Every structure is written in structure tokens, then in C-alpha cells.
Amino acid sequence: MLVHGGCAHAEGERLHPELSPDKDGWAPSMDPRLSVTNGGKTTLAKNLQKHLPNCSVISQDDFFKPESEIETDKNGFLQYDVLEALNMEKMMSAISCWMENPRHSLVSTDRGGAEETPILIVEGFLLFNYKPLDTIWSRSYFLTIPYDECKRRRSTRVYEPPDPPGYFDGHVWPMYLKHRQEMESITWEVVYLDGTKSEEDLFSQVYEDLIQELAKSVGK
């Protein structure tokens, strides 16, 4: 998950050096899906949005291409867990639109009205593998869960189209391992989160971290 200042990305998140709090606000980023599939990134993003003022969420899952445009491999598996299955240009356009006109609101303080810093959370499973996103974020998070737990959670979800037999082991998990290996070239800090923790524990960990980063940014 990524957060940016305001923008968060749920795989990961980091501070963009050219975004000043006075001009553009704070940019956290967080993405819990590269993070792994069914790792809890969407739930975490929604929980953060409920508790952070001026917080918007963009989900990578909303930018999948139609099934007719998804390629299949030699086993007949639809290749959904690759960047080519997503309209990333459209997602980048949505992020750019938000950055050009982020949501602001006034809150009451002891000294009168004050403008809250806008925050954007971008959550998805392939955010760290899309280079145009590299320079946008203030903080980056990556949710991880072990193979057995990931497979169990996947089996409880209903997809359209539904997963065919063998799809998890034949496509989903191998693609996760491939994309995770690609992350070794990342040069900025990524906070790795244990996706087996409770929703409450994950929320508290990330929320406190973001509040600390926001305080640092505002104080500069």
C-alpha cells in the first residue's frame, strides 16, 4: 500500500521530496497486495480511510481490463496477476487528477479553523512493480502471509470469472513469487507487515506510523 501526502499506497509508501506540506500536503503510500493476494490490503486501506481526515483511496483492482483482453498461458489459465491485465495508464490518470485537486476540509481547533492535510492511499497487488509510481510515495507497506494461509483465504473468495482448478498453484502463487523477487531492486524503505495479525493490530501499527510521518512532514 502506498500513501501520498497526501497519497498512500498499499503495497508501499514513501515521501516525495518535491511535495511540500504547504503546497501539496503529505504524501504517504501503501499497498498491501504486492503484498500478496488476499493479504488484507483492501481492509486495511478502508480502515485507515475511516480514521484519517481528508483521506481518499484508489484501488488497483478497479483497473482490471475486461476478460476478453486478458491473455491465457499454455495451461489455459487467465493471466490476471500481471501488469498487462491492468489499465495502469487509467489508474495513473486517476492519481494525477487527485494530486491536481486533492480534497481539503476545515476542522475546528483551539485557534479557529485549520485545513487538514489531504491523504491518498493507493492499494493494490502490483504497485511496486510499476516504475512510474516509484517517485510518488511517502510511505510504502507490504503485507505478507505464508503460502498455506494465502491459499486458504483465496479459496473462500468468490471471483468472476471463478478460479479454475489448480489456478492458485499454477498462476497466482508463482506470479507472487516472481513479483516479490523483482522487489529486491527497490532502493527505498518498505515496511513489511505480518498479514496473519488481526485487522485491529495491523490498523494500529500502520495508523501510528502514518501519524508520526505526518507530524514530521508538517513540522518541516
CB atoms within 10 A of CB 219: 7
User: Looking at residue 8, what is its pLDDT?
Assistant: 40
Least reliable range by pLDDT among 37-41, 62-66, 124-128: 37-41
Enter the pTM of the model.
0.78
- Whole-number CA gyration radius for the chain: 18
User: Looking at residue 219, what is its pLDDT?
Assistant: 57
CB-CB contact of 167 with 37 (8 Å)? no
C-alpha of 206 from chain center: 12
pLDDT(63) > 70: yes
Which ranges of 123-198 does DSSP label H, i.e. alpha helix? 147-156, 167, 173-182
Q: What is the pLDDT of residues 155-192, one digit of tens each?
A: 988 888 889 999 999 999 999 999 888 888 887 888 99
Q: What is the pLDDT of residues 81-92, one digit of tens each?
A: 999 999 999 999
| Catalytic residue annotation | 61
In percent, the amount of the chain with pLDDT more than 90 equals 43
